[in-house]
């Protein structure tokens, strides 16, 4: 007997949780269910795209604004269970204090990878 008989799309969300980047997402999902986690993903995608635009224009930001942006991305990544994105963001948040001209390319690439992965799974769940 299946434990998850009320879940209409178990395989679409299971694909997210099987991805190494989103191992922590399973515990978030267990607390909020399919519809709750889908809402979290949607909110994350809406916000992270705006942050990506800001990140790509960092040359006009002060050091503290950059640090705050890295912190915000780390928090958003944590909320959706994106462990690698969170780790890169936290590392850059710490590093910016010592290296104000730090390259944001690793973070930008990971944000784009995370967006693509989550959008793919959102379509599969819809």
Q: Averaged over 33-40, what is the pLDDT?
A: 88
| CB-CB contact of 40 with 24 (8 Å) | no
User: Which pLDDT tens digit goes with each residue over 59-110?
Assistant: 677 888 888 999 999 999 999 999 999 999 999 999 988 888 888 888 899 9
- At residue 59, the pLDDT reads 63
Rounded CA-CA distance 62/106 in Å is 19
First CA to last CA distance, the chain: 25
Question: What is d(CA 54, CA 61) in angstroms, rounded to the nearest whole number?
Answer: 9
Higher pLDDT, 58 or 33: 33
Question: Mean pLDDT, the chain, as a whole number?
Answer: 83
pLDDT at site 86: 93
| Domains identified in the chain and CATH numbers | 10-125 (1.20.120)
Residue 89 Cα to chain centre, angstroms: 10
- pLDDT band of residue 25 (cuts 50, 70, 90) is confident
């Amino acid at each position: 007997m299946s434990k998850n008989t009320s879940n209409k799309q178990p395989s679409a969300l299971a694909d997210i949780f099987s991805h190494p980047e989103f191992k922590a997402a399973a515990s978030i999902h267990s607390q909020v269910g399919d519809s709750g986690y889908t809402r979290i993903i949607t909110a994350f995608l809406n916000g992270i795209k705006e942050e990506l635009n800001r990140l790509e224009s960092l040359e006009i930001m002060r050091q503290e604004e950059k640090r705050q942006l890295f912190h915000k991305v780390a928090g958003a990544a944590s909320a959706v269970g994106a462990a690698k994105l969170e780790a890169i963001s936290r590392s850059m948040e710490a590093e910016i204090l010592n290296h104000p001209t730090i390259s944001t390319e690793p973070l930008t690439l990971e944000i784009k990878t995370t967006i693509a992965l989550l959008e793919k799974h959102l379509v599969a769940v819809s």
